[in-house]
Structure 1
């Protein structure tokens, strides 16, 4: 038995024992698809103790590389949109922009997709998951859309080395693939703030969309929606605090220059900003302010938390006065008023878990409701 075959079998055992891998077809796919082919260009690992996080390359000639390819870990493969592991000697402090998702999340999502033989699948984002889909359904049934030309090219090579020939399209995944529609299933391996209606249009009635919904406060959850004959899609959040890098067209804009925090209108805050430290509360807050970004700083000697909606020009600054907080707001929207209203309404309903939320996508946009506890 080759070293990588033993590693694949061991990975399948771990994923089964952890409760992520349930069915025989997906277990067989994990056992047969070589994840290391999708990491043949190396990957980046974080430098221990670095702050902000620094990254250093791990290349295939590193004795740790092969075993690390089969760890249940997300492995960064690109930094700052263009920088690959082969481009770096030493360390880099820029932000990751592409990675190979941890296998436990990949197989969980594939199980949640509930595919059947003969289903045609549109995948947003290309990589190891594409190989697993090809093994399960056959390459003719898989279309993958990847926004990054380098990532798409590497995926085509890796898939070819594995013996798979799906259609891999270089393009904006948010636009999907109208020419190949309708699809039975659509799965996205990136986060989205607003689920594109194009995905609903390109999924047949009765079909399934599986995607991670997020916001610029970076709390996200996996949602599974069913497309209906009336052109809408509805479904539940699945829980588990699933997190992906956002689709590039939906990344937040640069913050730019901070506004004058002495402007605007001030009042006592009903909720302190530390409510946003809780994942579920932050996810709820994003419904009220999906395009707000959060900055923490010291302003005039006081701890201050700022929410900024750069696109709209609105902001809210919360400052501590002893044991209490005040909020000062300006712009077209009162961001903290909206957050307090949404979070208070959710808490009044018993703070239901995110699995109690239903998401609906229509031509008019995306909404979410929850069931009271």
Structure 2
């Protein structure tokens, strides 16, 4: 390696370390800082990554300086499109990414690993997170599972190139890895809408499950569960993070392809609650509404080709049997037209969820918790485990 390249890498790493420490509000522990330096992020990222919502390609061969800056920014970078298939004339979409370093280290800190702990990671991706865990705990104590066989093979190679050899398994992470169980910790690098029962069963009593959370309404938050001797798991939600959904929990739904039909005759009403209050920039509202509506998803349609409508918020159930739309005419911010179809009144449910959240003091995710029962039922709660979050249906 050229001396200039090595110097540039060191400078970039030092700058990122400062950003991570600032984001966390305290310096990394000695163990995690040692892992940061010994397991460089750039050794795990592919020569082409994609940046931002527009998925702008950034190639190492076309400009190493720009690529290195992207790699050592405290931001996520997309590392795979369309599950690795040729995009062709279709629409590119992100299917794998390297998470922002600050959230990586925040989650490692929340995982609270100790010497001798055995860890299962779900979602190997590039292998960087597995490499950090392996440096901290030793290869014999780390098992990582990746559903994409190409990504799994590349991650294993990335790790071996640094002399790190945790157990890398190609398979469905929702099933965990019973052969290496029991674990003291399970950490996921993909979001889930339901915590797989296998994770709970493969963790020792007193062990921890840490995973990003997503509802059909919003992808936001982390949940940290402690497994009890009786086979249930319970713990608190936390803010931060938006991760890609576990592949076997994806729903590929579109309003006009899967939900709305020409023969549907919706009921018309009106509301004074702006659609952007429930589906805008307030992630606390979105998180709480998602916990209550459970299986309702949303989509914005700006400037629809409808006379007198400037923007429209669509709501629909994941089983596609009910939908609603809320229209803004671009002028009146106090009255909005509502259309509802199907056995469920989705705007009425959403409005009720929003009012409950406001009456509760507009809490953030950190005041909510989750219990996963022995039968797999998910029971979200507010402030304490015996105070259930109301479901809207």
TM-score, shorter chain, exceeding 0.5: yes
The 5 A counterparts of 1:1-373 are 2-3=6-7, 4-19=9-24, 21-46=27-52, 53-60=54-61, 62-64=63-65, 65-83=67-85, 94-126=92-124, 127-240=127-240, 242-255=241-254, 256-260=257-261, 263-269=265-271, 271-275=273-277, 276-277=279-280, 278-297=282-301, 298=304, 300-301=306-307, 302=309, 303-320=311-328, 322=332, 323-362=334-373, 363-371=375-383
Higher mean C-alpha deviation, range 59-68 or range 304-313: 59-68
The SS at the match of 2:74 is coil
Higher mean C-alpha deviation, range 65-74 or range 142-151: 65-74
Higher mean C-alpha deviation, range 107-116 or range 284-293: 284-293
The SS at the match of 1:192 is coil
Distance 1:69 1:320, change over 3 A: closer
The SS at the match of 1:282 is helix
CA distance in 1, matches of 2:190, 2:56: 21
Aligned residues: 362
CA distance in 2, matches of 1:230, 1:257: 42
List alignment gaps of at least 5 residues for structure 1: 47-51
8 A contact 1:142–1:166 mirrored in 2: yes
TM-score normalized by the length of structure 2: 0.85
CA distance in 2, matches of 1:249, 1:18: 32
1:51-98 CA distance string (max 9 Å, x none)? x824324135632233432222211110111159xx99xx99511111
CA distance in 2, matches of 1:159, 1:69: 17
CA distance in 2, matches of 1:224, 1:154: 29
List alignment gaps of at least 5 residues for structure 2: 385-393
CA distance in 2, matches of 1:40, 1:161: 14
> C-alpha displacement at 1:203, in angstroms?
1.1
8 A contact 1:5–1:31 mirrored in 2: no
8 A contact 1:312–1:332 mirrored in 2: no
8 A contact 1:352–1:371 mirrored in 2: no
> C-alpha displacement at 1:10, in angstroms?
4.1
CA distance in 2, matches of 1:159, 1:247: 23
> C-alpha displacement at 1:139, in angstroms?
0.9
Distance 1:181 1:10, change over 3 A: same
The SS at the match of 1:367 is strand
Distance 1:230 1:269, change over 3 A: farther
